[in-house]
Amino acid sequence: MKTRRVEETGATVLELDGRLDGSTAEPLYLTLLGLIAEAPSRLVLDLGGMSYVSSAGLRVLLLAAKQARGNSIKLVLCALRPNVAEVFEISGLASVFDIAPEREMAMTHGGPAVAQF
Amino acid sequence: MVTGQPSLQLALGGDVAGITRLADALESFGVAHCIPAEIIGRFALASDELITNTILYGGPDLSIGVDLQLANGLLSMTIADDGRPFDPLGAPPPDTTSGLADRRVGGLGVHIVTRLMDVVSYRRQDGLNKTTIAKVVSTQGSSE
């Protein structure tokens, strides 16, 4: 898995590319914790390039989401591929995350950073 | 082995590198036998979840064997390991309803497997754990 960080107005975006599984989950988690420590108001994970996710990957995304919420950071996932979206769906996680269909929508999805908590 | 039905056998060690090797082999098998990529994707994920569990509970010294068979429109895979008896289906069901703050992710892997497949079964046989997963397949581009 490769990641690329992009700074947008009002948000830090991390683009994920490749497989998120048992061998790539831990490095990604460390990257996410690093970004959360910088306390952006909004952290967008662009999953458009993510071809695969297993429960090991879901686990670290969930941990990161909890961490972000604890730090009043709005974490939004976007651009899930259909096969990835299906795994979120059957895991019952689609409703737990803030998920936007496209990246542009993720910039405003769910309103201001901490309002809905 | 005399049926002439498409099949694939793979021996893996107890490390996660085998999972991507299996995923690659599955992809080639799918292309060779005109199995929809969506189905192959399901088997790649289901086998990842099961083998990851097996390694987690059984340790790195395991021998894991994978046997994939396509017969009568059913694609089935049996994953066998020589670890101590472990029934992956014996775990309690996961939490799929609570909110973010309370959400736990234990047991999610097996839940995913049961949702992806038509059949999931476990048996202890000949000193091996054997988990079989299967799904009905309609192959593309067959001659009939």
| Average pLDDT over every residue of A68-74 | 96
Chain B, nearest residue to A20 by Cα: B45
* Per-residue model confidence as pLDDT tens digits over B73-82: 999 999 999 9
* Per-residue model confidence as pLDDT tens digits over A31-58: 999 999 999 999 999 999 999 999 999 9
| Chain A residues touching residue B19 (CB < 8 angstroms) | 21-23
Is residue B90 predicted with pLDDT exceeding 90? no
Check residues B4 and A24 and name the one with the higher pLDDT. Answer: A24
Q: Which residues of A touch B (CB under 8 A)?
A: 19, 21-23, 52, 54-56, 58-59, 62, 65-66, 69, 83, 87, 90-93, 96-97
10 Å CB burial of residue A4 (0-12, 13-18, 19+) is exposed
Pick from B44, B100, B105: CB nearest A69 = B100
Pick from A22, A65, A91: CB nearest B108 = A91
CB-based contact B115:A90 (threshold 8 Å): yes
B96 touches chain A (CB under 8 A): yes
10 Å CB burial of residue A29 (0-12, 13-18, 19+) is middle
Is residue B143 predicted with pLDDT exceeding 70? no
Chain B, nearest residue to A67 by Cα: B101
Model pTM score: 0.89
* Per-residue model confidence as pLDDT tens digits over A90-117: 999 999 999 999 999 999 887 655 444 3
Q: Which helix (H) or strand (E) holds A26?
A: helix A25-37
Q: What is the ipTM for the molecules in this complex?
A: 0.87
* Per-residue model confidence as pLDDT tens digits over B5-41: 999 999 998 888 889 899 999 999 999 999 999 999 9
* Per-residue model confidence as pLDDT tens digits over B43-77: 999 999 999 999 888 877 899 999 999 999 999 99
Is residue A10 predicted with pLDDT exceeding 70? yes
